[in-house]
């Protein structure tokens, strides 16, 4: 259950600007509460407590934006195509900001990698980071997005366009291929999701 120390009036404004409905609190101590996706944010004096299965659904909007983050992503696939999952981790100078992993149904390994990349970058954008360094262990995805390799697969081309559009939200970004051991937490999250499915 993340607790974000912040100006709760400014956090409320960020939520409302993003189209999230903000309601009055349920007790004398609650300033307001808001829900989005699988999470609920409850504001008190000087802090917001986030509850629910997916705190990342709202936490990024509550936090004050800015700064630099590292985004690690990985897709997992049992069979190619087969049951698939994604894993991603966002790390700032303060440590792990958010992480997630879940199944995505039947996909190829490359589709799962792109889905993980898109989700990780989207969450980093929602958290308001200005700059991101993206890291993944799929050389193919990294080189396709950077424009070094092309693809004949129309679906992968569409994924590449989506990623490039998401990256325009940042003042600065980089995308690098890293060895699997550097990407172990994202890999672990994707594989845990498949194991639990």
Q: Are residues 58 and 72 in the same domain?
A: no
The predicted pLDDT at position 197 comes to 78
Q: Are residues 119 and 33 in the same domain?
A: no
Q: Which helix (H) or strand (E) holds 9?
A: helix 8-17
Q: Are residues 72 and 56 in the same domain?
A: no
pTM: 0.77
> Do 88 and 68 form a contact (C-beta atoms < 8 A)?
no
d(C-alpha 100, C-alpha 108), whole Å: 20
Mean per-residue pLDDT pooled into runs of 10, the chain (197 residues): 86 88 92 91 94 80 84 96 97 87 96 98 90 97 96 95 96 96 96 92
Q: Are residues 55 and 116 in the same domain?
A: no
d(C-alpha 183, C-alpha 77), whole Å: 16
Q: Are residues 154 and 116 in the same domain?
A: yes
The predicted pLDDT at position 8 comes to 93
| Count of the separate structural domains present in the chain | 2
The predicted pLDDT at position 37 comes to 83
Q: Are residues 116 and 184 in the same domain?
A: yes
The predicted pLDDT at position 5 comes to 85
Domain that holds residue 118: 68-196
d(C-alpha 137, C-alpha 141), whole Å: 9
Q: Are residues 102 and 134 in the same domain?
A: yes
Q: Are residues 103 and 177 in the same domain?
A: yes
Q: Are residues 181 and 121 in the same domain?
A: yes
Residue 13's CB: how many other CB atoms inside 10 A? 12
Q: Are residues 94 and 19 in the same domain?
A: no
Q: Are residues 113 and 30 in the same domain?
A: no
d(C-alpha 76, C-alpha 180), whole Å: 12
* Strand partners for 101: 87
């Amino acid at each position: 259950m993340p607790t974000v120390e912040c100006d709760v009036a400014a956090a409320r404004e960020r939520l409302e600007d993003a189209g999230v409905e903000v309601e009055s609190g349920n007790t004398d101590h609650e300033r307001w509460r808001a829900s989005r996706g699988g999470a609920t944010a409850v504001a008190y004096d000087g802090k917001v407590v986030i509850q629910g299965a997916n705190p990342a659904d709202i936490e990024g909007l509550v936090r004050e934006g800015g700064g630099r983050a590292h985004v690690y992503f990985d897709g997992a696939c049992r069979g190619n195509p087969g049951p698939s999952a994604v894993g991603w981790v966002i790390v700032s100078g303060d440590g792990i900001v958010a992480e997630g992993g879940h199944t995505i149904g039947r996909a190829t390994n490359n589709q799962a990698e792109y889905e993980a990349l898109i989700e990780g970058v989207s969450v980093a954008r929602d958290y308001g980071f200005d700059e991101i360094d993206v890291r993944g262990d799929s050389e193919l995805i990294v080189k396709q997005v950077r424009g070094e390799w092309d693809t004949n697969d129309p679906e992968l081309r569409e994924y590449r366009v989506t990623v490039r559009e998401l990256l325009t939200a940042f003042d600065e970004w980089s995308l690098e291929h890293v060895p699997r051991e550097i990407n172990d937490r994202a890999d672990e999250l994707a594989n845990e999701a498949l194991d639990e499915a």
